Structure 1
């Protein structure tokens, strides 16, 4: 959950698949993971994170 949160925060994007993973796993989250998921939801609600797709970085030439 922490890695997903940081990736979403740094890119400003969360994918539909990642949202589906969060909802499927939420019963197994500990308190810290629950708090992180709630914060992610607030960032989505406020528009700081958008639902979309992430473009992988270009490979070095």
Structure 2
């Protein structure tokens, strides 16, 4: 079974969403809502990890 690549548009969209979540988390930290800020920061880290894993996967499939 051949492996399929993750679409670059999906990876770009995921990156943009994670940046907007990071900005929203920063605003929550500024307004002293640390619970929301921590939660959104964790989601940001997970999304960035998914982007990095997707890029690595696409590089391995190309080789």
- TM-score normalised to structure 2 length: 0.36
**TM-score, length-normalised on structure 1?**
0.36
Structure with greater Cα Rg: 2
Q: Which structure is higher in strand share?
A: 1
Q: Which has the higher contact order (CA 8 A, sep 6+)?
A: 1
- Structure 1 or 2: larger helix share? 2
